[in-house]
Every structure is written in structure tokens, then in C-alpha cells.
Amino acid sequence: MPDVAFKILAIAFVAGFTSLGLILVLQPSLYFRWFPNPFMADTPWNRIQMRELGLVLCLFVLMILSGLLQAALKSDFAEGFHNNIVLALWITFVMVWVGGLLSWILWRFSAIRASVSNYFTNEKLESPAWERRASLAFCSVLLIIIGAALFLAAMGFHV
């Protein structure tokens, strides 16, 4: 009985993180409507940060699933794909963290803030077209990472 309960909890955990990651990548404003946070308003900048978090969550879930696939298949391809996804997760996590820290530091300078505000006006950032482009960009990055991991695993390149 404990094995069945563990499997049910594991499936619920993976499904929950998958759905949260996809919601954050595709429509972070939906997440802000479901879970309002007084300290984090639904702004374009916060939606970009939530998309970054969604990208990391999707790669995390993919790492778990590829690890399970590797254990079940015990093939070089599955092991290579899992290792490449782990590497991609680390690189993405570090890039998101460093990018967030760098943008936070740069935002302290009024010249940078003024030039960004002039280029990205509120009307431009709040438009549905900009949201679609941001969602498409982050989905494309996720698919490129997965495709590169599959291609490199098929070619035999992995850590």
C-alpha cells in the first residue's frame, strides 16, 4: 500500500509542477490572478520573471522524467538526454539568476532606467501582441533546449 501512495504522490507532484511551469511560461498573468501577491504586482517585468521561473520549472520536471526514463530503459541515449537536460537546467538557472541580479543592479542607474522606459512604453508592454511574443520566445527557448539535448544525446555527446 505505501508503494501505491508514493506513486500517486509522485504523479501528483510531477503533474502539479508541470502545470505550474507551463502556466508560468505561457500565461503568467493567469498565475497572478489565481494567486494575488500584494508585494508582486502584475507588471510586465514581473511577468518576464515568472516566465523565467516557468522555464526553470519545466526543465526541472523534464529532468525528473528523463531520469525515470533513463532508469527504466538503461540506454546510452536516455542517459545522454538526461545528462544534457541536467546541464541545461544548471545553465538556465545560473543565467536566469545572474540576469536577474544584473538587471537589478543596472536598474539602479537612472540613465539605464530612462532609456529602457523610453523604448518600452507602458502601452507597448501591456499589449496582447507583446505578451504573445514573450510567450512564443520562452516556448521557443524551451523547445530549442529540448531539441538540442535530444540531438546531442543522439550524436553521443553528453556530460
The count of domains in the chain is 1
- pLDDT, residue 117, reads 79
Residue 62 reports pLDDT greater than 90: yes
Residue 7 reports pLDDT greater than 80: yes
Q: How far is CA 151 from CA 14, 60, 62, 84, 90, in A?
A: 25, 19, 16, 10, 19
Q: Confidence band (pLDDT; 50, 70, 90) for 1? A: low
**pTM, to two decimals:** 0.89
- pLDDT, residue 61, reads 96
Can you give the three-state secondary structure of 33-93, one letter per residue?
Answer: HHCCCCCCCCCHHHHHHHHHHHHHHHHHHHHHHHHHHHHHHCCHHHHHHHHHHHHHHHHHH
Range of the domain at 19: 2-155
Instruction: Report how far Cα 84 is from the mean position of its chain's Cα atoms.
Output: 16
User: Mean pLDDT of all residues in the chain?
Assistant: 90
